[in-house]
Structure 1
Amino acid sequence: MWITFYHQSKRYKRSLDLIDTRTNRKLAQQKLIPEIQYKLNSGEFFKNEIKIPIVDEFVQKSFKIHKSRRKPSTHLDYYNGYFNHIQEKFGKKYLNEIKPSDIELWQNSLLEKGLSPRRIKTLRTIFTTMYSDAIKDGVVNVSPLTMVRVPKAQKVEIKPFSLDEIKLLISNAEGQIKNFLALAFFSGMRSGEMIGLRWSDINFEKNEISITRAIKMGEISTPKTENSMRVIDIISYLHPYLKNQFQVTGNKKSYVFLNDKDEHFYDIKRIRETHWRKLLKNCGFEYRPIYHTRHTFATIMIEHNEDILWVSNMLGHTDSTMTLSKYARYIKRENVKRAQFLL
């Protein structure tokens, strides 16, 4: 809501930082406008008025506030997201000028361009954080995003591979990619965790792997969540593939998987675009994200009645509830008659 008024023959327009509703109009008439009139007459209005910054100015301040709390890759993603999808439309607008309808139209335009609801939710985070900082500083009183719903994301369909399909993929893979896929399918590790794996993390005597780091966009950091820092088992089927990989890179005493320059992979994109897509095509499979190797591990283990707590730990989930919420439908339901005690 805005108010326009004249003072000493000069026209002013100010935002009341309120959404235009019947309740807020009543509040403006009974309280806010009389307060403004009093401050104008007393000379306080312009003395204490806070200068409203434009989005370009304040978002930089917001980025600086939160930079130390975010992973460098997250900070970079937000920074690029702002310049690619927000700045052109909102950069020169004052924070109190942006209306809920502006946000809604912006979201719709992003959907039309092909951005996913998940990506738009990330971009909204940039806005939400900025307005939260502005409210704390007393620059504005309300965020226009509170009145706008996040676009609903379509549930991603899990398409796990069968055991025969896994064996076909691994047998057709070449070089260390064969061992990489075996680890992916039979450990449940995330892609970033695998390219961040060092030989010092693998204990062949105890048949254990310690997961303490991940690599994304060249950045070496901790895994996705606190529970992702974990120790997992090397199942017997996976053992020979890791031994084969040790023959390839073990003497480097570095990362388990190395590129042609004997360095860790910069990001999973290189493996996905150079090897994974080609392999799926050669095997006659439709494209599925490489992340489905992790889904496949979970579904196969659950289908074959492995302990859900063990599966949950292998995946690095917070608890088994999280695992069941994703994969419960893959639990085999034997033809057992229930509640027999009632008969």
Structure 2
Amino acid sequence: MASIRSRGKKLFVDFRYLGVRCRETTNLIDTPENRKKLQKIIERMEAEIVLGTFNYAQYFPKSDKASKMMALNDRKECINTSMPSFKQFAELWFSEKEIEWRDTYKRKIREIIDMYLLPEFQGRPIDTIKKTEVLAFRSALAKVTRGKVKKPLSAARINSIMVPLGMILKEASKRYKFENPYEDIKSLKEPRTSIQPFTLDEVWKFINWVREDYRNYYLVRFFTGMRTSEIDGLTWENVDFDRREIVINQALVKGKIVPPKTQESYRAIQMSPWVYDALKEQYKVSYKRSEYVFCSHTGEPLDYNNVNKRVWHPTLKALGLKKRNAYQTRHTAATLWLAAGESPEWIAYQMGHSTTKMLFNTYSRYVPNMTRQDGSAFEALVSRSQMAQASTDKETSK
């Protein structure tokens, strides 16, 4: 049974809902009159809980616990009903799957469900959703715009929204024995990732021009292929000067330290002499100030949006270099290593790729332009073989 208590002269309600103890503070001052008023509210709450019509968010709209309790209720109803609504099953599916995901991916899926899927399908019995409606929903996404310039959603973004929808419908169709409306729906074709690596001359031009306090930062980026989240989350404990290695076991995403992007992303990057010297210089600058190798003047990790706006893009503009995002430093490292003739397996490991397939699919088309080896190496090999054979034949004929 719910009880009324007082905290800081304000009344709060102590009750249990779905097996969870809940304490919710009200705006009512602790007076006899307000206690009577609150008691009537509690009696109505308890009646609705018994009838199964209690709406947590309606009673406590500002509560941090409201969304959690509403989700619990949806999952309970989903389990107890013969055919749940889309919202009920989506909440159940999310609660079962979230243990498998990183926090960043969990937030991404939660955002997609709340922002796109529930407004479209939430009250529908899940077995009544048809394939034509799924396709119509996808078409509607192509008309959604975002930002000040009203930019439409990209094919990649639309695909990322459709993936959890497909997973939810597939799982529901298996459990409740109905035809999966997502069957045979293919992903939209996405344009190839824009790869705009720097030439080696452009790399040195950038490093020699950029602000002195960011020179080490960009030198390390260009010659290690680290992702933005990896270098921004790099701490001194993961820099091994004795072994000349940078250990990647964490990343900085939206201000939080999280595990690396994939299992293969856990790796030890070898320091080239330039990277080693840059980190030694950086050690003098930031070691006593922060646990982060590259940090702000207050010791906090770098805000990549701020760095891009204040350093990266102004430097490109000042040098007359093509406008591109800072992730191109990673692409640059890969193409330079390939151009230098490094082992593809070694490069894939340095980049955090599971195989060399992605390496060749993404970067190999840039290597001929950098090495000027566009078939001439093979021609030279055959020519040398012909000359050697001719020489042998000539000696034999004597």
TM class, shorter-length: 0.7 to 0.9
Matched, 1:196 2:233: yes
- State yes or no: 1:134 paired with 2:172: yes
Q: Which residue of 2 aligns with 1:208?
A: 245
Residue 113 of structure 2 aligns with an amino acid whose one-letter code is: Y
Structure 2: distance between partners of 1:110 and 1:228: 32
Flag structure 2 segments of 5+ consecutive residues without an equivalent.
1-79, 145-151, 390-398
Aligned residue runs from structure 1 range 213-232, under 5 A: 213-232=250-269
Note the C-alpha offset of 1:76: 0.7
Aligned equivalent of 2:86 = 55
Following TM superposition, by how much is the alpha carbon of 1:170 offset from its aligned partner in structure 2, in angstroms? 1.9
CA deviation after TM superposition for structure 1 residue 226, in Å: 1.4
TM-score for the superposition, normalised by structure 1: 0.78
Aligned-partner Cα distance in 2 for 1:157–1:142? 39
Q: Return structure 1 stretches of 4+ with deviation > 6 angstroms.
A: 340-343
Correspondence for 2:361 among 325, 330, 339: 325
Report matched runs for 1:22-61 at 5 Å.
51-61=82-92
Three-state SS of the structure 2 residue aligned to 1:86 is helix
- SS where residue 166 of structure 1 aligns? helix
Q: Which residue of 2 aligns with 1:148?
A: 185
Structure 1: gaps of 5 or more residues:
1-48
> Which residue identity is paired with 1:81?
I
CA-atom RMSD in angstroms: 2.4
Q: Deviation of residue 253 (structure 1)?
A: 5.5
| Aligned counterparts of 1:145 and 1:274: Cα–Cα separation in 2 | 45
Distance in 1, matches of 2:262 and 2:316, equals 30
Among all aligned residue pairs of Structure 1 and Structure 2, give the percentage whose two residues are the same amino acid: 25
Give the 5 Å matches for 1:1-343: 51-113=82-144, 114-138=152-176, 140-252=177-289, 254-265=291-302, 268-329=304-365, 330=367, 332=371, 333=373, 334-337=376-379
Write out per-residue CA displacement over residues 19-51 of structure 1, whole angstroms, 9 at most, x where no aligned residue. Answer: xxxxxxxxxxxxxxxxxxxxxxxxxxxxxx963
- Partner letter of residue 208 of structure 1? E
For residues 221-266 of structure 1, the C-alpha deviation after alignment (integer angstroms, 9 at most, x for no partner) is 221121111111110122222122112211146111223431224x
Q: Which moved more, 1:305-314 or 1:59-68?
A: 305-314
Q: Deviation per CA, 1:179-219, whole angstroms, max 9, x where unpaired?
A: 22111100011111111111111112221111111111123
Find the residue that maps to 1:220 and give its secondary structure: strand
Letter in 1 for 2:138: Q
Asked if the contact 1:211–1:228 (Cα under 8 Å) also holds between the matched residues in 2, the reply is: yes
Deviates more, 1:189-198 or 1:49-58: 49-58
- Higher mean C-alpha deviation, range 125-134 or range 201-210: 125-134
212-221 or 294-303: which moved more?
A: 212-221
| Superposed CA offset, 1:99-145 (max 9, x none) | 2222222222222331122222221221122223323432x523222
Alpha-carbon distance in structure 2 between the residues aligned to 1:339 and 1:82: 60
Equivalent AA in structure 1 for residue 130 of structure 2: K
Code of the residue aligned with 1:99 in structure 2: it is K
- Give the aligned length: 293
Q: 1:236 to 1:115 in 2, by over 3 A?
A: same
Structure 2 vs 1, CA of residues 205 and 213 (structure 1 numbering), >3 Å: closer, same or farther? same
Alpha carbons 2:170, 2:182 under 8 Å: kept: no
Which residue type is aligned with residue 92 of structure 1?
Answer: G
Q: SS in structure 2 opposite 1:305?
A: coil
Q: CA deviation at 1:339?
A: 5.8
8 Å CA contact 1:176–1:245 kept in 2: the answer is no
